[in-house]
Chain A
Amino acid sequence: MQRLVPNEVQGWKAEAPDRAFDRKTVFDYLDGGAEAYLTYDFRRLFSRRFTKPGDEAIIVDIFDMGSSNDAFGVFSFERDSQDVGIGQDSEYAAGLLRFWKSRYFVAITAERETPASKNAVMAIGKAVAAAVRGAGTRPEIVGMLPSKGLAATSVRYFHTHSALNYHYFLAHENILNLSERTEAVLARYLAAGGKKSVLLLVRYPTASSAASAQRKFAGAYMPEARKAGVARMENGTWSGAAVEGRLLMAVFESPRANAARSLLADLKTQVRRKPK
């Protein structure tokens, strides 16, 4: 990854030594922030610090995520801003540029944002993105989300129960049987009255494991739904779930029963167009 990063940009020079970390040593560097990366197939982290007399440092962190799916996933983990046109998806705010390309997730941080440091951060980002050969594909499951009403920056792609609870607490127990072998996408949809419904789509290794997960989820979370597929929650919103082949789909926080059913129906229509 060293070759992906320039040695000097707009007066900021690389400060030796570069640093590299793997799954065991990354805790030494990220000080508690490593767990989110470890819920994905994180392989290695390369870090280079740039300094310039009279200005604050800039830090470049490049994560080899093993696949473009997981590079997208870790980018999506905390996305909240609009794209700035670097790599395959990107965002910039307050001195921090985040983007992904191919199997790499990249974070470039100016320790203090100034017009000069912002320019340098963007220039380093463009140089790194150009040095990464080829492009990756977004996870196929993300493309199954209905586009109508989707809050684009809310899309989260992940694998594990811990990651689901990080984004949307469901239960202490792993009632959806999520694991490194499952793919999940969570997104928010605009609903009536300015509220947002939450949609979860999970792909299991087999159709039987999806059906098994649905039975466990229904029994633990909404046993009263039975064949209706939706149930009213204690706060008055509606939740629902359904299975289609290897895919389990669930809706939470929907303001009306019909809206929950409609979102599930849209999702079913969408996934039937894609391989399962």
Chain B
Amino acid sequence: MKSTEEASLTRRDFLRGTATAALAAAFGLPGTAGAARPGGKRAKVVLVRHEQAVNADGGVNERVIQGMLDQAVAALSGTKNTADAWRRLVKPTDLVGIKTNVWARLPTPPELTEALRRRIVQAGVPEAAIRIDDRGARHTLADCTALVNARPVRTHDWAGIGGCMKNYMPFVEEPPRYHPDTCADLAAIWSLPIVKGKTRLNVLVALTPLFWGRGPHHFDPRYVWPYKGILVSFDPVAIDAVGAHLLRTKRLQHFGEDKPIKPTTHIALAETRHGLGVADLRRIDLVKLGWAEDVLI
């Protein structure tokens, strides 16, 4: 799976600037993000934030979330009308799977799942043709013709970031096969027939992200903050690259020094080795809408 050139990449290659900005950022090394825009494939990621998205008690404001999702999907699709945007994403004949994440400490908010379901129904998909699952996805979502991938962004004890790419792990029979080298080849999952070409939308929930974790269950309430945002993209690599950038920026702000999360190698390799999407932040067009305070990125 590895070419000789990839296998020999060292910390010094990053320092020399011979590796991509996304890789450098992934390792917490000096990078060139924000420098001149290089050529090559580009991707679009939309960030929408709203000050009232999360209530004082930590609960999610369902009405506000629906509005944020509508705004984000319309901006991503380049349409003014949310219904038009969703009709481009799913067809009435689709069997649609919403792939959520049920991690107890930071699950996909039910309010967001409901917002997605509501719009899919309005696009003409019968309610009976919508399935929602996480751990059982390999069985329950296997025959879906369209997938919507929605999960919260957080640091992950081994992969570095729990993002949209990693959310498809339940589609594989033996997850440990994708664990070597800190989950370097997670993107390979996206080439499996059970999911290949089916994903219509990725939603990375950044309402209350976890930017640093501890312990066997990798959670620490001190390192969760009310960012009150959601990210959407058609590109699972680009949305994870932006998510990792957000978590790293928050760590820099909070700790006053760089505390790299474990190598998020899989994001960079998703582009360079697997061709799944765009990992280089310089080639990602980030559209920011809504509440701008402490946006960080």
Complex: A36 Cα to B183 Cα, angstroms? 12
Chain B: CB-nearest residue to A33: B157
Given known pairs A94-B221, A94-B222, the reply for A172 and B215 (CB within 8 Å) is no
Contact with A along B232-271 (1 / 0, CB 8 A): 0000000000000000000000000000101101000000
Please give the distance in Å from A251's CB to the nearest CB on chain B.
14
Task: Choose among A32, A59, A94 the residue that contacts B158 (Cβ–Cβ < 8 A).
Answer: A32
* Interface contact B12-A221, CB-CB below 8 Å: yes
Chain B residue contacts of A233, Cβ below 8 A = 12, 15
B263 touching A170, Cβ below 8 Å: no
Q: Is the CB of B6 within 8 A of A32?
A: no
Cα A166 to Cα B179 with chains together (Å): 13
Q: Does B192 contact A (CB under 8 A)?
A: no
A169: which B residues are within 8 A, CB to CB? Answer: 11, 27, 29, 260, 263
Residues of B within 8 A of A30 (CB): 157, 216-217
Closest residue of chain B to A45, judged by CB?
B216
Q: Find chain B residues with CB under 8 A from A27 CB.
A: 175-176
B218 touches A33 (CB 8 A): yes
Q: Is the CB of B220 within 8 A of A93?
A: yes
User: Is B103 touching A31 in the complex (CB atoms < 8 A)?
Assistant: yes
State whether A175 and B10 are in contact (beta carbons under 8 Å apart), knowing that A78-B214, A107-B216, A169-B27 are contacts in the complex: yes
Closest to A172 in B: B9
Rounded to whole angstroms, the CA-CA distance of A80 and B215 in the bound complex is: 11
**Which residues of A lie under 8 Å from residue B260 when comparing CB positions?**
169
When the two chains form the complex, which single residue of A63, A96, A166, A234 contacts B182, counting CB atoms closer than 8 Å?
A166
> Quick check: A109 and B217 within 8 Å, CB to CB?
yes
Which of chain B's residues have a CB closer than 8 A to the CB of A113?
A: 221
Minimal beta-carbon separation of A240 from chain B (angstroms): 14
**Complex interface residues of chain A between 94 and 119 (CB less than 8 A to chain B):** 94-96, 98, 107, 109, 112-113
A175 → B minimal CB distance (Å): 7
Residues in B neighbouring A78, C-beta threshold 8 A: 214-215
Other-chain contact of B156, A32, A37, A220, A234 (Cβ < 8 Å): A32
| Contact yes or no, A172 B158, CB < 8 A | no
Is B143's CB within 8 Å of the partner chain A?
no
Residues of chain A with a CB closer than 8 A to B30's CB: 235
Chain B residues within an 8 Å CB radius of A93: 214, 220, 222
Minimum Cβ distance to chain B for residue A146 (Å): 23
List chain B residues, Cβ under 8 A from A170.
10-11
Q: Does A61 contact B (CB under 8 A)?
A: yes
Q: Which of B150-183 contact A (CB under 8 A)?
A: 156-159, 162, 166, 175-176, 179-182
Specify which chain B residues have a CB less than 8 angstroms from the CB of A94 in the assembled complex: 214, 220-222
Interface: B16 (CB within 8 A)? yes
Instruction: Report the interface size class on chain A.
Output: 35 or more
Is A68 positioned at the interface, with any CB of B under 8 Å from its CB? Answer: no
Q: Is B7 an interface residue (CB 8 A)?
A: yes
Partner of A32, one of B27, B157, B220: B157
- A-chain residues with CB within 8 Å of residue B158 when the two chains form the complex: 32-36
Say how far A24's CB is from chain B's closest CB, in angstroms: 9
Does B7 contact A173, Cβ atoms closer than 8 Å? yes
- Which residues on the A side are within 8 Å of B103 (C-beta)? 31
Instruction: Verify if A171 is at the interface (C-beta below 8 Å from B).
Output: yes
- B156: chain A residues within 8 A (beta carbon): 32
Contact for B9 among A36, A109, A162, A171, CB less than 8 A = A171
A202-244 interface bits toward B, Cβ cutoff 8 Å, 1 = contact, 0 = none: 0000000000000000001110000000000111000000000
Do the beta carbons of B263 and A96 come within 8 Å of each other?
A: no
Q: Are B159 and A32 in contact, CB atoms less than 8 angstroms apart?
A: yes
Given the interface pairs A32-B157, A33-B216, A171-B11, the reply to whether A162 lies near B182 with Cβ below 8 Å is: yes
Closest to A95 in B: B221
Whether the Cβ atoms of B162 and A220 lie closer than 8 Å is: no
Q: Residues of B contacting A270 with CB < 8 Å?
A: none
On whether the beta carbons of B262 and A172 are closer than 8 Å, the reply is no
Inter-chain contact A36/B157, CB cutoff 8 Å: yes
Asked if A7 lies at the interface with its beta carbon under 8 angstroms from chain B, I say: no
Residues of A within 8 A of B182 (CB): 35, 162, 165-166
Task: Give 11 new A-B contacts, CB below 8 A, not counting A109-B217, A166-B262.
Answer: A27-B175, A31-B217, A33-B217, A35-B182, A59-B217, A94-B221, A98-B215, A113-B221, A171-B8, A172-B9, A173-B8
B residues with a Cβ closer than 8 A to A are 2, 6-12, 15-17, 27, 29-30, 103, 156-159, 162, 166, 175-176, 179-182, 214-218, 220-222, 260, 262-263, 265
- Can you list the 8 inter-chain pairs with the closest CB atoms, starting with the nearest? A234-B15, A171-B10, A33-B157, A35-B158, A96-B215, A173-B7, A169-B27, A172-B9
List, sorted by A's number, 17 A–B pairs whose CB atoms are closer than 8 Å.
A31-B103, A32-B156, A33-B158, A33-B216, A34-B158, A35-B182, A63-B216, A93-B220, A94-B214, A94-B220, A95-B221, A96-B214, A113-B221, A220-B10, A221-B10, A233-B15, A234-B15
